[in-house]
Structure 1
Amino acid sequence: MSLPRILVTRAIFPDVVERLRAHFEVEANPEDAIWTPAELAARLADKDGAFTTGSQRIDAALLASAPRLRIVANMAVGYNNFDLDAMNAAGVQGTNAPDVLTETTADFGFALLMATARRITESEHYLRAGRWTQWSYDMFAGADIHGSTLGIIGMGRIGQGIARRGAHGFGMQVLYHNRSRLTPELEAQCKATYRDKQDLLRSADHVVLVLPYTAASHHLIGAAELALMKPGATLVNIARGGIVDDAALAQALRARRIAAAGLDVFEGEPQVHPDLLALSNVVLTPHIASATEPTRRAMANLAADNLIAFFDGRGALTPINTPNATARQGG
């Protein structure tokens, strides 16, 4: 019996590819080529499964050209690259990589918050440019973290991790907004108080976004929301591009409507809005919140485990949809 055929859409750890080769016939992408949708569809035409990294779009058009495809395993916790309705209709299982990146991403979110509030990137650029010639009392005076008010929008596992760091490590008052309230036990663990979005934006000194990207959360933070924030407030986005209206944010930063922003994700990434690139009061990082080697390895291995378990008949370990079981039976 022939082995199932798997496409690995981007370069990943070679040892993880070798793990997959023990179970599947694998077409890898060691050169890390960025395939167009048409190229991706052509490569998936004879594949039973795919290993994606979060940026490859899986939609109805692609699924129509991949009749054998039965599972797509995302090496990411987010899956806004998946059209789940189309995948359900086509009978294709989707999986993600939750939990394994929670603490690493929360670490980075807090690091980005601190870099933004304390103007670390801006001051480093100033120093490297040879402009530091003397001390002054107001040189790069930023905002305090300790004892301030932290607002978190999106209180899943990562949001809870950031809340614990703020409340327990820095004595911050933590406010949060979420689609549903946490249990009283979790609120106590995080020392967090539920607020509606508008109240949170008005009250917080620092706002961190950690919610999934959906049609409902598109431009959740736009000009109207930024106008609610304190003039000295900071905004950090480690969630997904598109949750923030980047053009409106650039305008608010340019006008000093808010003090600063820290962004790890962008609309249309890897492209970044040119107005953001021109500003000094924004810290920009290239979608690296989960980027430690142990965490990225854990994410890759979980995606591989999902593929292996699925084709072994045990079912996906971290499924994100319920596909139509009769839509396709595989090749």
Structure 2
Amino acid sequence: MTGAEPERAPVHRAPATGLTWRFRPGRGSGVLAVVFSQARVPEGRFGLERLFARTRHDCLFLNCPDALWFLECDDQIDAAIEAAIAASQARRVVYHGASKGAHGALLTGLRRRDGAIHAFCPELRLGVPGSQSALYRPQGADPGPDLAALLTAAPTPHPVQVVFGLLDPIDAAGATALAGRQDANPMLHVLRLRSSHAAHDHLYSLNIIRKLITRYDRDLEAMCAERGLIAEDAPADVARFAEVASGLVLGNPDALGEALRDPYARHNPGYALCLATALIAAGRWEEAEARLAEAQALIDVDPVLSGLPKRWRKAVWQTRIDGRQRAGDGAGAECLQRMLMQRFPDGTAD
């Protein structure tokens, strides 16, 4: 994220949980933005802080150890929010977060029922194999509440916007879990995007996030539609991708054959990446390379896919390189490495 260095207010910490927070007074917008950090943000720092520094909002930034994923700290979060509301006298509260932060935004906003929620690529159930939370939370940890059930149990008093990137199997599972259930909560709005799990970064690169947060009065779906980001994928295809990808991660012997037969794997580069990773693990390196080369060609000619976050696009190339190395094709791996460096000469991940 780029932008002016934010004003540094004190960081507070709850010793019992490791939750940290910082309140930054705003400049009279009447909005309190409660911003939850994504994973891998060190203690004492806060995700999206520099992004929100350009707004006029009062901001409460929250972070916690990745092992918690914003569980087990409700009381401390509520106390920090109540103090921020008193200090800001905001007329509106908005909960905002991506990935881990989206989980925090949903948990808190649904519990408190006092503000709108913008959740980008949340995991609706934690600890699923292959998910981000599974990388950081202890094995066998409580998966937390079923957010799909909470979102659709009853109408919420304020709008809830949930965004999923359909190139990611966990996001695809989340979109599937909420498909056809929005009638139970008319305030719930689900956006399915032609993006990865890093959809928030993708939208930031297109200046959509900045427009959204300026006053929180813009139509996110309309802005995404203008850029061709709304996915038209059939819900059945998305559901099948999520199910087959889960089988691939779990080593289900039938999943690989199902993925190879599925025509949707040739239309969704994220599905192709999951399939190729499984093919490499099975020693079927030539098939993996063919699938990844096909996916790369699809990305190259599509203005939306070619604008995906660099980290995701590089992952396709790196998987191709890994496959060549596993196949003992050093020359092929070196050729792909040179092509990677030509496309991404700065060497950065983002």
| Higher RCO (C-alpha under 8 Å, 6+ residues apart) | 1
Higher-Rg structure is: 1
Question: What TM-score, normalized to structure 1?
Answer: 0.31
TM-score using structure 2 length: 0.30
Select the structure that is richer in helix: 2
